[in-house]
Chains A and B, each alone.
Chain A
């Protein structure tokens, strides 16, 4: 069928219906996969929240008991607050570092690729490897603290992972170390799409560097920034690998986050029903973030 004939055919009612049908058929495999690996387990997890199940035996229906337990669980609130702190940290620190580094990288004309690779390198490493290496570095008896215990840098001799006041921030710092390079790369790609003539025009008009950044760079980066902020919020509430690998949520739940607490309930306590109730509660909390994002889209704030 020639292109013009096809366009005319698609304009007819039958053509439109057939076009839609082809679209649905092509979407069907992805939809089926989604139903199997996302929708069904999600519904089952929600339902499991109403049961008491130790994984080995048959589940027993207990109504809302697990959800009531969530409301009265002090560790849940502690973990939730840590997720909140984590979100604030990750919405600011790695974003700021990544953006600053990206701006500087775009101004470097020689060896720009070397910087890109160097900054991105930690993001390519497996979290297990990064966590283990940093555990050694922060080891209170053989690590960095021990090395500087008697010099002017003796403040480094702290229980980075063993002190309740430091553990969460230490783990977050390690995660930031591995993460900001990825954000930097995203920013570099976005900055590369800004037409240099905008800056030239602004310079001719006498705009300062800060004014150019505020009036040209930031608005052009808005789509990627909104995207990063949304992802950061979602990932911050589901973060697991670094807290689990480095401290296991300890000491004394000082670095406990919702995911590690859910994991503990499922795998250590074998309370699958309670873990499901915790997971459902976390999902409801995340829905707030998603609704917020939809609002942002409706308002059109994520467009340049």
Chain B
């Protein structure tokens, strides 16, 4: 519609009003006044709407979970503003901070679908696809050559029923974080196997220090970090691949033994003194920083906040518990999808392309979003920003090397089907506390897994070993 049409209509309406309102003869009736007033209001609204339609840029609503001002400022600086400038579009951010998945689903259930949304991992997206809330991205995949650019193990779990339904925008791995000063003071060494791990935990506990800081009060699913670690450390990726693809059972002795050993660590009080339900995730990091705990098992996402604690920390590989090769349990920590109901599909596709990682190569992007957004592409060593956190850079490059030789493991929020994952983290504390046996836990897991397998809801799992 021509932009001037609305502007022309308003004076005409005013002329009409003047004709009707003959003040001198006082022949202006109440009905005429109401009609004229209503017409003027409707006209002006129409004019405003028409004008707005013609001049407003296209708007994309992006639902993400980063509520802190620092990250939002960076998001505006590195994502929103460059994209908006380049495409003449407007990005409106909807912050869903307390529980991304819940809030997103409630938002959609109320009919307020965002155009773009973040989620906790690829296994969280199939329910959105099945209900018409995830756009099939195959067309953009072909156009932008995402399949060639994205690391294969990151790309594959994003494919569901033969279609790409989300893009990964961050990968992560579980690590052993430790308080360097405590380790130096007591001459402790990083454990490399089960025997060394248990011996060190006993020694640390004997000194009145918590071996592993751990809190899950504000994020109960955090218990699955330990579960994923246990499976990789004892069962190993080769057999876990068999389990995750349904070729082997969750009730296999090795799988059960991994849970038994994890329960042992927890019951000994080595993991958060068995008080993780009453401590937050950040509270546990505070214990590590204050020297009240010697180690913490957490993912690379901790790089985004650990420097605010101001202490000397180290990061290393987690010890294995069995005769399995040392692996990095890797997974996708965040994915971004487009809603199938978006009215700006093309723009949405272009926005998703931002996450595939190009800005990382020509901007200090990786360092700015350290631990929050890590492009799932291969970033050569010489392309890293000069001021990048050296530990983060080292860890990322080690992960990339491990990926190159398939020395990787699995994380439950990436390679587990959604309901199986939820069942496991929801019942793991019952196993640790002893109110549920390991056998019952695994039988229940197998039951849920079989249902999802039957429904065709297993994610694509990359074979690492």
Contact = CB atoms under 8 A, between A and B. Distances in A.
A267 B102 contact: yes
Given A161-B278, A162-B278, A56 B108 contact: yes
Nearest to B279: A141
Interface string A155-167: 0000111111001
Contact of B130 (A55, A57, A167, A248): A57
Interface string B242-275: 0000000000000000000000000000000111
Contacts of A138: 278
Interface in A244-275: 247-248, 250-254, 264, 267-270
A190 to B, nearest CB: 39
Main secondary structure of the interface of A (DSSP, over half): loop
A254 B131 contact: no
A142 B163 CA distance: 50
A213 to B, nearest CB: 41
B422 A54 contact: no
B296 interface: no
Interface in A174-221: none
B432 interface: yes
Given A54-B131, A141-B283, A160 B278 contact: yes
A302 interface: no
A140 interface: yes
Interface in A133-173: 135, 138-141, 159-164, 167
Given A56-B127, A56-B131, A253 B279 contact: no
B103 to A, nearest CB: 10
A140 B275 contact: yes
A161 B274 CA distance: 11
B277 A141 contact: no
A250 B215 CA distance: 13
Contact of B432 (A58, A252, A253, A264): A252
Interface residues of B, number: 32
A254 B432 CA distance: 13
Contacts of B433: 164, 251-252, 254
Given A56-B127, A252-B433, A159 B274 contact: yes
Nearest to A57: B131
Interface of B: 99, 102, 105-106, 108-109, 127-128, 130-133, 217, 220, 273-279, 283, 287, 292, 422, 426, 429-430, 432-433, 435-436
Given A55-B109, A270-B105, 6 more contacts: A54-B127, A55-B105, A56-B127, A164-B433, A251-B276, A268-B422
28 contacts: A56-B105, A56-B108, A56-B128, A57-B131, A57-B132, A140-B275, A140-B278, A141-B275, A141-B287, A159-B274, A159-B275, A159-B277, A160-B278, A162-B274, A162-B278, A163-B274, A164-B435, A167-B277, A247-B277, A248-B217, A251-B277, A251-B429, A252-B429, A252-B433, A253-B435, A264-B426, A268-B102, A268-B422
